[in-house]
Amino acid sequence: VPDEHSSFMVEFDDGTYLAATVSQNAQATTSLRIVGTNGEILVEPAFHMETEIRVTRDDVSVTLDTPQVNQMTELFDYAADRILTDAPIGPDGEHGVLDMRLIEAIYDAGESGRVVTLD
């Protein structure tokens, strides 16, 4: 797999940075860590199974445990609710298009060694 591992940085319009590392064949684990000036939030595992959320500010930490949720059931319930209440269903396909643009930009930056800007 030519793109088995990747690390990249994204700078958002407001000056916020995202540093990410991804892999197709790494240990099956996920985490999401948000680090701010006064504290951090750690979600682990981030996208599956039972999840632990730890919020830390200075020397104080609070941990929340969440139950395992069937993602497909949640998605179907959400869609059914939106259809029954005639509410818009989001996200729309534009989110997928943006994901593909980001992936292409990561490839371009890796090949060229330069920063790639998306409009």
Query: Residue written as tokens 């029954």?
Result: 84
pLDDT at 2: 61
| CA dihedral for 99, 105, 108, 113, sign (positive or negative) | negative
pLDDT at 38: 92
Instruction: Please report, in tens digits, the pLDDT of each residue of the chain (119 residues total).
Output: 467 888 889 898 999 998 988 888 777 778 889 999 999 999 998 877 788 999 999 999 999 988 888 888 999 999 999 999 999 988 778 888 988 999 999 999 989 999 999 88
Q: Within 10 Å of residue 110's Cβ, how many Cβ atoms?
A: 14
pLDDT at 7: 87
Q: For the chain, where are the E strands, in sequence order?
A: 5-11, 17-23, 32-35, 39-44, 51-57, 60-66
